Structure 1
Amino acid sequence: MRLHASVLPVVLALAAAHETAWAAPPAAAPADSVETIRLRPGEPPAVTLTPELLYRILVAELSAQQGRYDDAAQELLGVARDTLDPRVAHRAFQMAMSGHNLTVALQTSREWAKLDPENPEAVAASLALSASSGQTDGLARTLARRIESADDKDQAIVQAVGIVSKMTDKRLALDVLDKALVGVLKTSALAHLALADAAWAAGEPRRAVDEAYKAQTLDPDSTDAAQRILEYGLRVEPRQAIQDTYAYLDRHPNQRGLQLLLVSRLTGQSQFDEALKLLGKMRANTPEDFDLLYTEAEVNARAGRYDAAKALLAQYISIEQQRRKGSAEGATNAQADVSDARLLLVQIAERQGDLKEAIRQLQNIDEPSLRFQSLTHEAVLYGKLGDLARARSLLDGIKPADRRERVVVRLTLASIYRDAGRTDQAVELLKAADLEMPDTSEIKYELGMLLHQQGKTAEFEALMRRVIQLDPENANAYNSLGYTYVEDNRNLSEARDLLERALDLDPENPYILDSVGWYLFRTQDYQGALEYLRRSYDQLPAADVAAHLGETLWALKRHEEAKRIWAEGLKADPGNQAVLAAMRRAGVKLP
Structure 2
Amino acid sequence: MRISASVLPVVLALAAAHETAWAAPPVPAPADSVETIQLRPGEPPVVSLTPDLLYRILVAELSAQQGQYDDAAQELLGVARDTLDPRLGQRAFQMAMSGRNLALALQAAREWARLDPENPEAVAASLALSASSGQTDGLARTLARRIESADDKDQAVVQAVGIVSKMTDKRLALDVLDKALAGVVKTSALAHLALADASWAAGEPRRAVDEAYRAQALDPDSPDAAQRVLEYGLRVEPRQAIGDTYAYLAKHPNQRSLQLLLVSRLTGQGQFDEALKLLGSMRSQTPEDFDLLYTEAEVNARAGRYEAAKALLNEYITIQQQRRKAIADGATSAQADVSDARLLLVQIAERQGELKEAIQELRSIDEPNLRFQAQTHEAVLYGKLGDLARARATLDAIKPADRRERTVVVLTRASIYRDAGRTDQAVEILKAADLDMPDTPEIKYELGMLLHQQGKTAEFESLMRRVIALDPDNANAYNSLGYTYVEDNRNLPEARDLLERALDLDPDNAYILDSVGWYLFRTQDYQGALEYLRRSYDQLPAADVAAHLGETLWMLKRRDEAKRIWSEGRKADPDNEALKATLQRLGVTLP
TM-score (norm 2): 0.84
Aligned AA (1:371)? R
The answer as to whether partners of 1:516 and 1:529 remain within 8 angstroms in 2 is: yes
* Distance in 2, Cα, partners of 1:513 & 1:504: 12
C-alpha displacement of 1:443: 2.9
* Distance in 1, Cα, partners of 2:114 & 2:249: 49
SS of equivalent residue, structure 2 residue 143: helix
The alpha-carbon distance between structure 1 residues 484 and 163, as it changes in their structure 2 partners (threshold 3 A), is: closer
C-alpha displacement of 1:541: 6.1
* Distance in 2, Cα, partners of 1:33 & 1:590: 78
The alpha-carbon distance between structure 1 residues 465 and 495, as it changes in their structure 2 partners (threshold 3 A), is: farther
Match of 1:493 among 471, 481, 490: 490
- Show the counterpart of 1:26: none
The alpha-carbon distance between structure 1 residues 96 and 509, as it changes in their structure 2 partners (threshold 3 A), is: closer
C-alpha displacement of 1:548: 8.1
* Distance in 1, Cα, partners of 2:534 & 2:492: 21
C-alpha displacement of 1:199: 1.2
Return 201-210 or 53-62, whichever deviates more.
Answer: 53-62
Match of 1:470 among 450, 459, 467: 467
- Show the counterpart of 1:65: 65
SS of equivalent residue, structure 1 residue 183: coil
- Show the counterpart of 1:365: 365
C-alpha displacement of 1:519: 8.8
C-alpha displacement of 1:413: 1.3
Report whether the alignment pairs 1:99 with 2:99.
Answer: yes
* Distance in 2, Cα, partners of 1:342 & 1:465: 42
* Distance in 1, Cα, partners of 2:8 & 2:529: 63
The answer as to whether partners of 1:229 and 1:241 remain within 8 angstroms in 2 is: yes
The answer as to whether partners of 2:267 and 2:302 remain within 8 angstroms in 1 is: yes
- Show the counterpart of 1:140: 140
Question: Following superposition of structure 1 onto structure 2, how do residues 203-214 of structure 1 map, counting pairs within 5 Å?
Answer: 203-214=203-214
- Show the counterpart of 2:25: none
* Distance in 2, Cα, partners of 1:112 & 1:585: 57
Report whether the alignment pairs 1:129 with 2:156.
Answer: no
The answer as to whether partners of 1:189 and 1:214 remain within 8 angstroms in 2 is: yes
- Show the counterpart of 1:45: 45
C-alpha displacement of 1:191: 1.1
Return 389-398 or 131-140, whichever deviates more.
Answer: 131-140
The answer as to whether partners of 2:533 and 2:549 remain within 8 angstroms in 1 is: yes
SS of equivalent residue, structure 2 residue 47: strand
The alpha-carbon distance between structure 1 residues 356 and 187, as it changes in their structure 2 partners (threshold 3 A), is: same
Aligned AA (2:300)? N
The alpha-carbon distance between structure 1 residues 510 and 9, as it changes in their structure 2 partners (threshold 3 A), is: closer
* Distance in 2, Cα, partners of 1:162 & 1:558: 38
* Distance in 1, Cα, partners of 2:79 & 2:260: 55
Return 208-217 or 58-67, whichever deviates more.
Answer: 58-67
Deviation per residue, 1:228-281 (Å, 9 max, x gap): 111111111111111111111011000001111111111111111111111111
C-alpha displacement of 1:40: 6.8
Report whether the alignment pairs 1:320 with 2:309.
Answer: no
Aligned AA (1:470)? V
The answer as to whether partners of 1:551 and 1:582 remain within 8 angstroms in 2 is: yes
The alpha-carbon distance between structure 1 residues 34 and 191, as it changes in their structure 2 partners (threshold 3 A), is: same
The alpha-carbon distance between structure 1 residues 16 and 470, as it changes in their structure 2 partners (threshold 3 A), is: same
C-alpha displacement of 1:584: 8.1
* Distance in 2, Cα, partners of 1:61 & 1:569: 55
- Show the counterpart of 2:113: 113
SS of equivalent residue, structure 1 residue 182: coil
- Show the counterpart of 1:180: 180
Question: Following superposition of structure 1 onto structure 2, how do residues 103-252 of structure 1 map, counting pairs within 5 Å?
Answer: 103-252=103-252
Aligned AA (1:494)? N
Deviation per residue, 1:184-243 (Å, 9 max, x gap): 112111111111111111111111111111111111111111111111111111111111
- Show the counterpart of 1:433: 433
SS of equivalent residue, structure 1 residue 126: helix
Report whether the alignment pairs 1:303 with 2:300.
Answer: no
SS of equivalent residue, structure 1 residue 134: coil
* Distance in 2, Cα, partners of 1:587 & 1:210: 43
- Show the counterpart of 1:383: 383
Deviation per residue, 1:106-128 (Å, 9 max, x gap): 22222222222222222222222
SS of equivalent residue, structure 2 residue 246: helix
* Distance in 1, Cα, partners of 2:570 & 2:206: 38
The alpha-carbon distance between structure 1 residues 71 and 518, as it changes in their structure 2 partners (threshold 3 A), is: closer
C-alpha displacement of 1:383: 1.4
Specify every segment of 5 or more residues in structure 2 that has no aligned partner in the other structure, as ranges.
23-30
* Distance in 1, Cα, partners of 2:530 & 2:162: 38
SS of equivalent residue, structure 1 residue 159: helix
Aligned AA (2:367)? E
The alpha-carbon distance between structure 1 residues 497 and 508, as it changes in their structure 2 partners (threshold 3 A), is: farther
C-alpha displacement of 1:539: 6.1
* Distance in 2, Cα, partners of 1:91 & 1:526: 44
- Show the counterpart of 2:55: 55
SS of equivalent residue, structure 1 residue 87: helix
Aligned AA (2:491)? E
The answer as to whether partners of 1:483 and 1:495 remain within 8 angstroms in 2 is: no
- Show the counterpart of 2:347: 347
C-alpha displacement of 1:379: 0.5
The alpha-carbon distance between structure 1 residues 116 and 291, as it changes in their structure 2 partners (threshold 3 A), is: same
C-alpha displacement of 1:565: 8.4
Aligned AA (1:334)? A
* Distance in 2, Cα, partners of 1:518 & 1:106: 32
* Distance in 1, Cα, partners of 2:579 & 2:63: 59
Return 101-110 or 438-447, whichever deviates more.
Answer: 438-447
- Show the counterpart of 1:25: none
The answer as to whether partners of 2:18 and 2:46 remain within 8 angstroms in 1 is: no
SS of equivalent residue, structure 1 residue 184: coil
* Distance in 2, Cα, partners of 1:111 & 1:554: 51
The answer as to whether partners of 1:464 and 1:477 remain within 8 angstroms in 2 is: no
SS of equivalent residue, structure 2 residue 356: helix
Question: Following superposition of structure 1 onto structure 2, how do residues 69-80 of structure 1 map, counting pairs within 5 Å?
Answer: 69-80=69-80
The answer as to whether partners of 1:514 and 1:545 remain within 8 angstroms in 2 is: yes
Aligned AA (2:466)? Q
The answer as to whether partners of 2:547 and 2:566 remain within 8 angstroms in 1 is: yes
Deviation per residue, 1:527-585 (Å, 9 max, x gap): 99999888877766666777888999999999999999888777766777777788888
Aligned AA (2:464)? V
- Show the counterpart of 1:27: none
- Show the counterpart of 2:27: none
The alpha-carbon distance between structure 1 residues 546 and 334, as it changes in their structure 2 partners (threshold 3 A), is: same
C-alpha displacement of 1:586: 9.0
Question: Following superposition of structure 1 onto structure 2, how do residues 331-342 of structure 1 map, counting pairs within 5 Å?
Answer: 331-342=331-342
* Distance in 1, Cα, partners of 2:176 & 2:440: 44
The answer as to whether partners of 1:496 and 1:519 remain within 8 angstroms in 2 is: no
SS of equivalent residue, structure 2 residue 399: coil
The alpha-carbon distance between structure 1 residues 469 and 334, as it changes in their structure 2 partners (threshold 3 A), is: same
* Distance in 2, Cα, partners of 1:334 & 1:185: 47
Report whether the alignment pairs 1:405 with 2:405.
Answer: yes
- Show the counterpart of 2:423: 423
TM-score (norm 1): 0.84
The answer as to whether partners of 1:503 and 1:512 remain within 8 angstroms in 2 is: no
The answer as to whether partners of 1:297 and 1:309 remain within 8 angstroms in 2 is: yes
State the Cα RMSD in Å. Answer: 3.9
Return 500-509 or 241-250, whichever deviates more.
Answer: 500-509
The alpha-carbon distance between structure 1 residues 565 and 413, as it changes in their structure 2 partners (threshold 3 A), is: same
Return 340-349 or 180-189, whichever deviates more.
Answer: 180-189
The alpha-carbon distance between structure 1 residues 104 and 44, as it changes in their structure 2 partners (threshold 3 A), is: farther
C-alpha displacement of 1:440: 3.6
Deviation per residue, 1:499-545 (Å, 9 max, x gap): 88458736776667777898999999999999988887776666677
C-alpha displacement of 1:347: 0.4
Specify every segment of 5 or more residues in structure 1 that has no aligned partner in the other structure, as ranges.
23-29
* Distance in 2, Cα, partners of 1:412 & 1:443: 11
C-alpha displacement of 1:388: 1.4
C-alpha displacement of 1:327: 1.4
Aligned AA (2:215)? A
